[in-house]
Amino acid sequence: MDGTDEDRVDAWFQALSDRTRRDILRRVLAGEHSVSTLAASYDMSFAAVQKHVAVLEKAGLLTKRRQGREALASGDVAAVRSVGTMLTELESLWRGRITRIDELIAETHPQKD
Partner 1 sequence: MPVTDVSHDLDARTLTIVADFAAPPKRIWEVYADPRQLERIWGPPSHPATFVDHDLAPGGRMNYFMTGPEGEQYYGYWEVESVDEPHSFAFDDGFALDEEFTKNPDLPVSKNVFSFTDHEGGTRATYVGIYATAEGLQQVLDMGMVEGASTAINQIDELVTA
106 makes contact with partner 1 (CB under 8 A): yes
Residue placing its CB nearer to partner 1 in the complex, 3 or 31 = 31
Strand partners, 43: none
30 makes contact with partner 1 (CB under 8 A): yes
Q: Give just the sign of the alpha carbon dihedral 65, 67, 70, 74.
A: negative
In angstroms, give the least distance from the CB of 99 to partner 1.
Answer: 7
Q: Report 33-72 residues binding partner 1 (CB under 8 A).
A: none
Cβ contacts of 90 within 8 Å, gap of 6 or more = none
Strand partners, 63: 74
How many Cα atoms occupy the beta-carbon half-sphere of 70 within 13 Å? Answer: 11
Q: Residues in the site for partner 1, rule: CB under 8 A?
A: 13, 16-17, 19, 22-23, 25-26, 29-31, 75, 77-78, 81, 83, 85-87, 89-102, 104-106, 110-111
